[in-house]
Amino acid sequence: MDQSLPPPVPNVAPELPDAIHRLARASVLVIGDAMLDRYVYGSVRRVSPEAPVPILAEERELAMPGGAGNVVRNLTALGAAAAFISVVGDDQAGSDLTGLIGGQPNVEPWLLVEGGRTTTVKTRYIANGQQLLRADREQVAPIAPHLAERVLRIARDAMAATSITVLSDYRKGVLSGGLSAQLIAAAHQAGRRVIVDPKGSDYAIYAGADVITPNRAELAEAAHMPAETEAEIVAAAQALRERHGFGTVLVTRAEDGMSLIDPAEVQHFPAEAAEVFDVSGAGDTVLATLAAGLAVHLPMAIAARLANIAAGIVVGKVGTAVTHEADLLAAISPRGGALRKIVTRQAAAEQMERWRHRGWRTGFTNGCFDLLHPGHVHLLEQARAACDRLVVGLNSDASVRRLKGLARPIQPEAARAAVLASLASVDLVCIFEEDTPEALLTELRPDVLVKGADYAIEEVVGADLVRRWGGRVMLAELVAGHSTTATVERIRG
C-alpha cells in the first residue's frame, strides 16, 4: 500500500470538498472483531397457529461484514485502502466472512482461523421495513495465545505500510489479554497514531491511544461520571484523558451530534442527519471517516466534522450502511431544488429502501425523454398517481444513440435529467447505461412498473421481474399526436 502523501500545508485548513477528495488517498490498518451481519427480508401476512408470533415469508437475504469488518467497508466506500487483521472460526460463517472481506476493493485481509471458534453472526429478520427479531450466534472468549502473537507480528509489518492504526473492539476476544496495549506500543514505535473505538468500563487497556471514540453512554460508564450535558461530557472526557494519557476524545452523541475534546480545543458539532432510519453501524462510519481524514493529515477538527457529516448520512440509510465520497460531497453541496433528485443507482436503491421502510408504495418508469412533450408529462402524472414515490430511469446518451441512431439524443443526458427532475410528479431520476432498465429494476425492486399503452404487458422489459416479487405492471394511456421523433423531423424539415 502506497502511503506517500504530499506534505500538509502548515496552518491552512483545506476546503471541505478538497478534504473529502483526499480521503481516497488514505491507507489504514484496522484490527478488531469481525462479524457477519445477515439481513433476512420478507413479508408477514399471518400469525403462527403454534404461538402468537408472526410468520415471515422469506423473500431475500443479504450478508455483509459487520463489526470491525464494517469499518473496513466504510473505508473502501470512501476509496481508501485498508489492511485488516482479525480472527474467525473454522465454520461456514467464517468462510463467508472471509470471502466478503476479500471481495472488497483495496483491502489486504489477514483473517486468521481459530479451530473450534464460533464466528459471530447477527441475523436480523425484517418485514415491511420493521425489524421483527435479531438472533445472535457468537463465542465471547479470548483468542488463543499463539494467534495473539501472530496478530501482533502481522500488525507490526502492516503498520509500516499504512498511515494510521485503528482498533475496533467489540469485546468478542480479538483484542483481549493485553493485546490492545501491545498494539498501541507497536504503533507508536513505528511512528503511527492509534484510534480506538473502545468497549467496556476499563479504558486502562487502551492507555496512550491518540484518539478514542466512545459514545455518550460508554463515556459515562468508563469515567464513572455523568455525561448528559455538554459540560458534563467535556469534564468526563478530560478525566479520561488525564487518567489514561489519551490525546483526543471524540464523543458521539446520537441525535445531539458529536463533541471533540483534545488539548488544543473543545468543539461541539450539531447532528447532521435530516432523518434517522437506522443507527446500526454509525459508530463504524465515524471511526472510518475520522481515520481516513487523519491518515491524509487533515486537521483533527476537519476530520471530526467529516465524520459527523458521514454519520448523519449513514443513519438516514436502512441497515448497516456506508457513506461514499459522492454522499459527502452532496451533503455539503449548495446544489438545491430539483437537481438533488438526480442520483446514482446506488443512491436510488438506498432511497427506495427508505421509502419501503416507511410503508410507501414505490413506482418506476423509464425512457429516453428527449425533447419532453405533453405526452411524457401525462404518462409521468399517471405513474405518480399509481404510487407514493416515483423513480424515472433515464437512458444515457450512449444508450440513446444505440437505440435511436447517431443523431440522437437532441439534448444531453444532464439536460434531460434536469428537466425531468423539475417535474412535481418525479421524485428521483437515475441515469442508466444499458439498453434496457432490467439491471436497474433488479436493484430498485419497485412495487409498480409503468409503461405506455403502446406496449403489451408481455413486451414490457422487467414485467416478469416485478411480478415475481409481488409488484404489478401498469400501462398508462397515451396522448395522441405527441412524439419526440415526429417533433425532430418537423424541426429538421
How high is the mean pLDDT in each 10-residue block of the chain (493 residues)? Answer: 40 76 97 95 90 91 93 96 97 96 93 96 87 92 96 97 97 95 98 96 96 96 95 96 96 90 90 59 91 96 94 73 85 70 87 80 93 88 93 95 88 92 93 94 93 85 90 85 61 61
- Answer yes or no: do 306 and 345 share one domain: no
Distance CA 137, CA 155 (A): 28
Residues 245 and 123 in one domain: yes
The pLDDT of residue 144: 95
Is the residue at 2 inside a domain? no
Whether residue 153 lies inside any domain: the answer is yes
User: Is there a domain that residue 6 lies in?
Assistant: no
Instruction: For residues 140 and 216, state if they share a domain.
Output: yes
Domain C-terminal end among 286, 307, 332: 332
Q: Are residues 262 and 289 in the same domain?
A: yes
Cα–chain center distance at 449: 27
| Alpha-carbon Rg for the chain in angstroms | 25
Is 8 a domain residue?
A: no
Same structural domain for residues 302 and 212? yes
Q: Which of 332, 358, 389 is the last residue of a domain?
A: 332
Q: Which of 96, 154, 156, 103 is nearest to 120 (CA)?
A: 96
| Grid cell locating 425 | 410528479
C-alpha cell at 74: 466504510
From residue 169, alpha-carbon distances to 115, 188, 213, 284, 300 in Å are 21, 19, 11, 11, 22
* CA distance readout (Å), 135 to 38, 131, 318: 10, 11, 18
Same-domain pairing of 32 and 108: yes
102 within domain boundaries: yes
pTM of the model as a whole = 0.77
pLDDT value, residue 305 = 94
Note whether 350 and 268 are same-domain residues: no
Asked whether residue 321 falls in the same domain as residue 343, the answer is no
Asked whether residue 11 is assigned to any structural domain, the reply reads no
Q: Are 324 and 346 part of one and the same domain?
A: no
Closest listed residue to residue 253, CA positions, set 283, 223, 226: 283
Same domain, 288 and 360: no
CATH code of the domain containing 281: 3.40.1190.20
Residue 161 within a domain: yes
Query: What are the CA-CA distances from residue 98 to residues 111, 314, 346, 425 (Å)?
Result: 7, 24, 24, 45
Q: Is residue 7 part of a domain?
A: no
Q: Provide the number of structural domains found in the chain.
A: 2
Pairing between strand 130-137 and 164-168?
unpaired
Q: What is the pLDDT of residue 319?
A: 57
- 284 and 359 in a common domain: no
Distance separating alpha carbons of residues 301 and 487, to the nearest angstrom: 56
The answer to whether residues 226 and 130 belong to one domain is yes
* Active-site annotation, residues: 284
Cα(128)–Cα(17) distance, integer angstroms: 37
For residue 60, what are the domain limits? 16-332
CATH number at residue 402: 3.40.50.620
Contact between residue 29 and residue 162 where contact means Cβ atoms under 8 Å apart: yes
Domain boundary among 332, 364, 382: 332
